[in-house]
Amino acid sequence: MRRRRAIKGSPLERDVTPEPLFLDRRRMLGLGAGFAGTGILAGTGILAGCGSSPTGLRWPTGHRVEEAPASPPYPVARNQRISVPLPPTPIAHFESYNNYIEFSAQSKELPKSRAQALPLRPWTVAVDGQVHRPGVFTMEDLLRRMPFEERVSRFRCVEAWAMVVPWTGFPLAALLALAQPMGSARFVAFRSVSKPDLMPGMSVSEHFPWPYTEALTIHEAMHPLTLLAMGAYGRPLAAQSGAPVRLVVPWKYGFKSAKAIVRITLSAQRPDTFWNSLQPEEYGFYANVNPAKAHPRWPQHTERLLPDFRRQPTLPYNGYGDAVAGLYRGDEH
């Protein structure tokens, strides 16, 4: 891929994270303004014109937090500026063709029936590590306090199939703002729930480095396109889709988007992650969708779009290059 002059001195090359960015909570919650100020989104097409916030909906003001219903008001307003103008994959296909290796390492169909055994409440997400204010959030906390919106995104698995999904969620940056990352935090790790008794795939693949984990750089994690989803298609996520809360990073291969998250840990060092530690040649740490990068098992220049698996070209960064290419030098994989 062509080296881009504009990326010199990109966030990845910087050792020191600009702490004031994280400490100014007011600015952080107005994500658009905060990010525009850093230059990370300079020249972006997809996010241009977002105004002071890329999020379409705030919890109605005037509600005392503890009185607010613990559910986003489905359907949540769509953020048109971030959404792609494509017809969503039918929900029946989204909810019955799944990768969820804890439930089955082989089958795309078994997660749907097996995942129903997973209790989705009570459920908490811990946010810890290099943060000034570590915390444990219940799902009700998140539903009351986070700025939910709907956004229609492309989703691309490294196995070369693709979907278009209307997610309901909130920018991960909004949750990280509450935890106040330290200047030393350079990576954000995600840990999926681990319940071997309920998850038959875990014992079939017992040599795998459970639990399922993934990670992003702090700059990827703070990017407005990085979503924590609790719903899709205007309703709460199905268990097999990663309920009650999962990551969605639309410019990366799907394995980065960890399901059923229970812990988010900020660190100075890059953490080991599940697929990358098993097969680094097949599952790069960055895993940005890249049609030009050969893959040992799946050619990446085209993809098959659900529901009919029509073949179409794959786009660099899954079509989100204008918004995210500035995060990279171009040789990350």
Pick from 102, 150, 220, 303 the residue near ligand MTE by CB under 6 A: 102
Instruction: Select 98 or 180, whichever has its Cβ closest to ligand MTE.
Output: 98
Q: Which residue is nearest to Mo ion (CB)?
A: 157
29 sits in which H/E element: helix 25-29
Please provide the size of the chain in residues: 333
Two structure tokens written together for 229: 């989803």
241 in contact with ligand MTE (CB under 6 A)? yes
Cα distance from N-terminal residue to C-terminal residue, the chain: 12
Q: In degrees to the nearest 10, what's the CA dihedral of 191, 193, 199, 204?
A: 20
Side chain identity, residue 229? A
**Interacting residues with ligand MTE between 147 and 206 (CB under 6 A):** 157, 192
CA–CA dist 102, 109 (Å, integer): 13
283 in contact with ligand MTE (CB under 6 A)? no
99 in contact with Mo ion (CB under 5 A)? yes
Residue 290 binds which entry of ligand MTE, Mo ion, none, CB below 5-8 Å type-dependent = none
327 in contact with Mo ion (CB under 5 A)? no
Distances (CA, A) of 251 to 68, 126, 173, 189, 302: 33, 25, 16, 17, 15
- Least separation in angstroms between CB 256 and Mo ion: 9
Residue 213 binds which entry of Mo ion, ligand MTE, none, CB below 5-8 Å type-dependent = none
Instruction: Select 99 or 153, whichever has its Cβ closest to ligand MTE.
Output: 99
Instruction: Select 159 or 322, whichever has its Cβ closest to ligand MTE.
Output: 159
Residue 259 binds which entry of Mo ion, ligand MTE, none, CB below 5-8 Å type-dependent = ligand MTE
- Least separation in angstroms between CB 2 and ligand MTE: 28
Instruction: Select 109 or 133, whichever has its Cβ closest to ligand MTE.
Output: 109
- Least separation in angstroms between CB 277 and ligand MTE: 14
Contact call for residues 185 and 131 (beta carbons, < 8 A) = yes
Instruction: Select 212 or 328, whichever has its Cβ closest to ligand MTE.
Output: 212
254 in contact with Mo ion (CB under 5 A)? yes
CA–CA dist 134, 178 (Å, integer): 9
Contact call for residues 221 and 176 (beta carbons, < 8 A) = yes
Two structure tokens written together for 54: 């890329």
The DSSP secondary structure of 202-261, one letter per residue, reads HHHTTTS-SSPEEEEEHHHHHSTT-EEEEEETTEEPPGGGTTT-EEE-TTBBGGGS-SSE
- Least separation in angstroms between CB 285 and ligand MTE: 15
* Per-residue x/- track, 147-166, Mo ion (CB under 5 A): ----------x---------
Residues near ligand MTE (CB under 6 A): 98-102, 157, 192, 212, 241-242, 254-255, 257-260
